[in-house]
Amino acid sequence: MAMDYGKCAKEIFENLGGRENLISAAHCATRLRLVTVDNSKIDMKKLENVDGVKGVFSNNGQLQLIIGTGTVNKVYEEFLKVSGMTAATKEEVKAAAAAKQPVVKRMVKAMGDVFVPILPAIVASGLMMGLVEALGKAMPAFAGSDWYGILDLLANTAFVFLPVLIAVSAARVFGGNIFLGAVIGMIMIHPNLINAWSVGSMDPSEIPVWRLLGFSIRQVGYQGHVIPVIIAVWLMCKVEKWLHKHVPEMIDLFVTPLCTVMFTAFLTLGVIGPVFSTAENYILSFAQWVITVGHGVGSLIMGALYPFTVVCGIHHMYNVIEAGMLSAEAGLNTWMPIASAANFAQGAACLAVGLKAKNNKTKSVAIPSSLSAALGITEPAIFGVNLRFMKPLLCGMVGGACGALLGAMFHIGATSYGVTGLPGFLITMDYTLQYAITLAVSFGISFALTWVFWKEEEEGTEEIPDSENKSEVQAQGEKGEGGVLYVPVQGKVIPRSEIPDETFASGMLGDGIGIEPETGIVTAPCDGEISTVTDTLHAIGMVSADGMEVLIHVGIDTVNMKGDGFTAFVSAGDKVKAGQKLLTFDLEKIRGAGYSTTTAVLVANSFQYPAFRVEKTGRMERMERVICVKEEE
């Protein structure tokens, strides 16, 4: 049965608290993005149950309704008619969302924006450090070898030069010159300064100082510090922007960089460094106190509250604490067990919902989301399932609290941050058994409590008879052989759960695959009709001849490229044949812009196909058979 776009739009609008509660509206390839005045006026439960809405969550000040490719644009058009609003660009929506966020929330978001891009470097170094240390303990002879020496050097480089990585990322976030940012970061750890880790063992009178115009600047570096670097680069960006506006263009190239670096460097070494490094030490001491207070009671409380910080979008603030712990003399992240226990517990609660639910829509979201949470990505589980039904969220909080308490009692320490759940075993190799017990307790308590206390009928869900889905699939199968998708982009095919975007990886937009492309050519994976081509040309939706709703989304967050590097050869309404060229894209431009090229190929209505299966992963050529929804013969 065709979706009634007008009805969907009308029901969405009716539950948003009225026209006066809406600021702006836009859409991307899969989601309706809204900015509202007061989210408390929104009936979230009714929004989630609107036919056509696959998920609802609030992120960075935006209310996002996941609808799916090929339909979101049509629902959006109807929504504008119903609401009387005018179309807005995604950038305008983001700007409106940011402007209405509290100052503290904007500060926390900025922290997250700084740390998320450098996570791959930190994770890689942390994993390598764990492996090298484990090998050294297992084989004492290896610990004194040249191999150990060079591997240890490679492993700890990211942490030795962490202030430089942070400075570059911060300059990008705050809109400054990233190379000037790098200079500020390098100044703070210059080898002519006394290493920060050596200062603690020195008598204060032995520390040399520069005496300049009545001011004294200690010749001390800021290795291992995080907050002073971010504050310094934020100031640098402000100074640079001011100078660009006031310095004549003919001398701007020379005057602005020189004055920016000189002013920022003096203020950083003289004021920002000493003040904020002291503040950071107090923060780290407080975090350690929270973990140990009352024999782990503090960890128990944080394990319970952690999901709420995810809901509020402020969980990235923990990156500052974890980075500081890793850079300290002990070099271990003892905050990680709290996050890992909390995340794993939410995944367990979500899995219990998925296994117990009879509603096919709930199952199709919950089970993939639970697997995503087990790998450390909890947003799909929390926003898509647990927060919606509430009881699973509370049960997960209990399990997370118990697991976090155990983690604190076991004194588990990790060699990296940004990794939780099952991958966390790779950065907690000295605590493998303790970590396994922590996860097992978190999982067991959350799963059991959810299974006992959550009842589907209490949430007002309706069972959809399997016979309806089967008859619908059979009716589609009678239209022709069909039921097969071929690889649209040459490259390495990966499981859908490994796509580096939680919305795609969770299966919320349908099951499918990811492709790490080798070439920039997209061809039709089947015969069918193009349902949508996004304005930014990075995503195409189509409906196969036998009814599969297919989304091909090139890259992650490539919507921000605004079509640069993309060329489309089809338009909405075009009939296409399998193998026909749909789109080309520039791989190097995408990488140069800092985005992943991983391409999602999803079947939005995969829940209608009980026989859905991915036939092969690994390197594949275009037009190799990759997905089948037909029953095996």
Kindly state whether residue 217 falls inside one of the protein's structural domains: yes
SS (H, E, C) 581-604: EEEEECHHHHHHCCCCCCEEEEEC
Residue 109 lies in a domain: no
Residue 131 lies in a domain: no
- Confidence band (pLDDT; 50, 70, 90) for 419? confident
Give the pLDDT mean for 382-402: 87
What mean pLDDT comes out for the span 525-540? 89
My answer on whether 285 and 308 are in the same domain is: no
What is the pLDDT at residue 326?
74
Cα separations (Å) of 268 from 49, 133, 175, 282, 453?
53, 35, 19, 19, 55
pLDDT score recorded for residue 177: 93
Q: How far apart are CA 390 and CA 315, in angstroms?
A: 19
The CATH number that applies at residue 92 is: 3.30.1360.60
Residues 6+ apart with CB under 8 A from 264: 184, 232, 235, 236, 239
User: Taking residues 422-428, what's their average pLDDT?
Assistant: 84
If we measure between CA atoms, which residue out of 519, 541, 540, 523 comes closest to residue 585? 519
Is residue 149, in this structure, part of any structural domain at all?
Answer: no
**In this predicted structure, what is the pLDDT of residue 84?**
83
State the residue range of the domain holding 514. Answer: 480-628
Residue 616 has pLDDT above 90, yes or no: no
Over residues 11-16, mean pLDDT: 91
* d(C-alpha 426, C-alpha 358), whole Å: 36
Residue 530 sits in the same domain as residue 621 = yes
Q: What is the pLDDT at residue 474?
A: 37
Residue 511 maps to a domain? yes
Mean pLDDT, rounded, for 446-456: 92
Most confident of 107-116, 145-154, 266-275, 444-453: 444-453
529/280: higher pLDDT: 529
The answer on 440 and 310 residing in a single domain is yes
User: Which of 508, 510, 539, 503 minimizes the C-alpha distance to 73?
Assistant: 539
DSSP class per residue in 414-426: BS-SS--SGGGGG
| pLDDT surpasses 80 at 3 | no
Do 240 and 304 belong together in one domain?
no
Residue 61 has pLDDT above 70, yes or no: no
Q: Which residues pair with 25 in a beta bridge?
A: 34
Q: In this predicted model, which residue has the larger pLDDT, 323 or 330?
A: 323
Rounded to whole angstroms, the Cα distance separating 469 from 545 reads 18
Asked whether the predicted pLDDT for residue 556 surpasses 70, the reply is yes
Which of 66, 101, 136 is the last residue before a domain boundary?
A: 101
Place of tokens 């930014």: 536
Query: Among the ranges 269-283, 347-361, 396-410, which has the highest mean pLDDT value?
Result: 396-410
CB 400 within 8 A of CB 350: no
pLDDT confidence band for 458 (50 / 70 / 90): very low
Same domain as 415, residue 306 = yes
Render the burial of 216-245: b for 16+ CB within 10 Å, e for the rest: ebbebbbbbbbbbbbbbbbbbbebbeebee
Question: What is the band of 19 on the pLDDT scale with cuts at 50, 70, 90?
Answer: confident
Whether residues 285 and 300 share a domain: the answer is: no
Query: What pLDDT is attached to residue 420?
Result: 83
Same domain, 302 and 447: yes
Positions annotated as catalytic residues are: 28, 553
Confidence tier at 600 by pLDDT (50, 70, 90): very high
* pLDDT recorded at residue 582: 94
Segment 556-571 shows an average pLDDT of 89
Give pLDDT, residue 12. 92
| pLDDT score of 130 more than 80 | no
pLDDT digits (tens, 9 = 90+) for 88-110: 555 555 555 555 566 666 676 67
Model confidence, pTM: 0.50
| Residue 554 or 124, more confident | 554
pLDDT of residue 418: 67
Q: Of the segments 116-125, 151-160, 279-288, which one has the largest average pLDDT value? A: 151-160
Region 503-517: mean pLDDT is 87
What is the CB neighbour count within 10 angstroms for residue 38? 10
Higher pLDDT among residues 582 and 458, named by residue? 582
CA angle 314, 538, 601 (to 5 degrees): 85
Q: Do residues 512 and 399 share a domain?
A: no
Mean pLDDT of 165-175: 89
Regarding whether 445 and 344 lie in a shared domain, the answer is: yes
- Same domain assignment for residues 446 and 491: no
At 444 the pLDDT is 95
- What pLDDT, on the 0 to 100 scale, is given for residue 473? 33
The answer to the question of residue 136 being in a domain is no
pLDDT (0 to 100) of residue 264: 95
Question: What integer is the mean pLDDT of 300-323?
Answer: 73
**122 vs 574, which has greater pLDDT?**
574
Residue 502: band (very low, low, confident or very high) from pLDDT cuts 50, 70, 90: confident
* pLDDT-derived band at 20, boundaries 50, 70, 90: confident
pLDDT for 435? 92
- The most confident of the ranges 117-126, 383-392, 505-514 is 505-514
Give helix 227-246 / helix 249-267 axis angle, nearest 10°.
150
The domain boundary residue, chosen from 101, 119, 147: 101
- Confidence grade of residue 386 (pLDDT, cut at 50, 70, 90): confident
Q: Which of 214-228, 285-299, 601-615 has the lowest mean pLDDT?
A: 285-299
Q: Structural domain tally of the chain? A: 4
Same domain, 339 and 230: no
Higher pLDDT, 110 or 232: 232
Domain boundary among 49, 83, 101: 101
Q: Is residue 130 part of a domain?
A: no
- Among the listed ranges 117-131, 136-150, 455-469, which one has the minimum average pLDDT value? 455-469
Checking if the pLDDT of 515 tops 70, the result is yes
Q: Is residue 508 part of a domain?
A: yes
Q: Is 340 found in the same domain as 259?
A: no
